[in-house]
Amino acid sequence: MTDQIIMFISQLFSGLKIGSVYALVALGYTMVYGIIRLINFAHGDFIMVGAYVLMLTIPAIVAAGLPAWVAIVPAVLVCVAVGIIVEKAAYKPVREKGNSMTALITAIAMSLLLENGAQAIFGADFQTVPTIFHLPSIAFGKLKLPGDTLLTIVLGLIIMIGLQLFVKFTKQGKAMRAVSEDKEAAVLMGINVNSTIALTFAIGSGLAAVASLMYCAAYPQVSPMMGAMLGLKAFVAAVLGGIGSIPGAMIGGIAIGLVESLTKAYIGTITGGVITSAFSDAIVFAILIVVLLVKPSGIMGKNEGEKV
């Protein structure tokens, strides 16, 4: 293998590494958007909350002789609690009184609240999270695929399949699909819409906690603003995959991760220096714009027009 190919493949791997985290986050976005048609801006910040919980609990857990990843338990609990509180205290009252714009503004406000709340408590600086996994890298000749990347992808796939099965076959999953299709009709069918939405938030927030574990395993630092860009990119991933589609979120997440990593590595060479790696964030948004304009339903989504 020439060095160039090795370089290319290792870039692919680093794309997979961040892409698998995007995929986990995008799953949460897509579930919430699917059911209440709201971009939950605060979703990225749930990851930040999870990361801080990990940072605080891992030392105690390690001291108790347990493996560090057990910290996922308090992280999930806290994230689910935060998710449900956000839904019950802010989104639900606004949804009942306002329109889609007020709901979106509320979501932005909740995001600001979490970010600035964390900043007030922990300060604005980056803090380090203790090592979570001690997984060996898997070597392919000269190439090394980090074990946690592989784990993230496998975990993502398992969660995706699990969610898909849950939504397709369980009673609560069917209720979710019904609520996302038509809230009024769902009420008439005896579905408790509010608890179904709360359940969706709980699952989404729980996924955010898992995502924070995998994120911190790969990039062991936390800061109050860490969720903002991560959340936006994951949202782009969810849109690319087709909002509301569970496999779509997975595909979109991986795709965005790969695009980001490959543009960082190659865009300068390809464009002869006109566009450089500093544009990688802009390129992610450019993808969003192109998808929204060309095929707003994304790769796996369904077309929805307003009925006249």
Partner 1 sequence: MKKSMLSTRQSYLVCFLGILASFGVVMALCESGIANSYIKGIMMTACIAIIMTTSLNLTIGVLGQLTLGCCGFEAIGAYVAALASKYMVAAGMLVDPTLRFLVTTLLGGVVACVFGILIGIPALRLHGDYLAIITLGFGEIIRVIIQNLKVAGGMGLDKGAAGQALIGIERTANLYIVFWIMIITVVVLFMFGRSRYGRAVKAIRDDEIAAGASGLNTTYLKVLVFAISAFFAGIAGGIFAQYIGSLNPTMAGWLNSINYVIMVVFGGMGSITGSIVSAIGLTILPELLRAFADYRMLAYSVVLVLVMIFRPQGIFGSWEFSLPRLVNRLLFRNPKAEAEEKAEAAGKTDDAAETGTETEAAETAATTETKEA
Site for partner 1, rule CB under 8 A: 37-39, 90, 93-94, 97-102, 104-106, 108-110, 112-113, 115-117, 119-120, 232, 235-236, 239, 268, 273-279, 281-282, 285-286, 288-289, 292-293, 296, 306, 308
State the nearest-atom distance from the C-beta of 60 to partner 1, in Å.
28
State the nearest-atom distance from the C-beta of 147 to partner 1, in Å.
31
Q: Give the list of residues 6+ apart from residue 84 with CB closer than 8 angstroms, or none.
A: 198, 201, 202, 205
State the nearest-atom distance from the C-beta of 125 to partner 1, in Å.
13
What is the distance between the alpha carbons of residues 206 and 188, in angstroms, rounded to a whole number? 29
State the nearest-atom distance from the C-beta of 10 to partner 1, in Å.
20
State the nearest-atom distance from the C-beta of 99 to partner 1, in Å.
8
CA dihedral 36, 203, 213, 61 (to 10 degrees): 140
What is the distance between the alpha carbons of residues 10 and 264, in angstroms, rounded to a whole number? 13
What is the distance between the alpha carbons of residues 130 and 234, in angstroms, rounded to a whole number? 25
- Residue closer to partner 1, measured from CB, 103 or 155: 103
- Residue closer to partner 1, measured from CB, 188 or 274: 274
- Residue closer to partner 1, measured from CB, 146 or 204: 204
What is the distance between the alpha carbons of residues 215 and 197, in angstroms, rounded to a whole number? 26
State the nearest-atom distance from the C-beta of 82 to partner 1, in Å.
14
Which H or E run contains 166?
helix 147-169
Placement of tokens 């070597």 in the chain: 139
Triad 77, 117, 41: Cα angle to 5°: 70
- Residue closer to partner 1, measured from CB, 57 or 205: 205
State the nearest-atom distance from the C-beta of 262 to partner 1, in Å.
15
Region at 144 (left for phi over 0; alpha for psi -120 to 50; beta for the rest): beta
- Residue closer to partner 1, measured from CB, 213 or 249: 249
- Residue closer to partner 1, measured from CB, 119 or 221: 119
- Residue closer to partner 1, measured from CB, 62 or 275: 275
Helix 43-63 to helix 193-218 angle, to the nearest 10 degrees? Answer: 60
- Residue closer to partner 1, measured from CB, 201 or 235: 235
What is the distance, to the nearest Å, from the Cα of residue 169 to the centroid of all Cα atoms in its chain?
Answer: 24
Long-range contacts of 158-166 (CB under 8 A, 24+ apart): 159/24, 159/27, 159/207, 159/210, 160/23, 160/27, 160/246, 160/247, 160/249, 160/250, 163/27, 163/31, 163/203, 163/246, 164/246, 164/247
State the nearest-atom distance from the C-beta of 281 to partner 1, in Å.
6
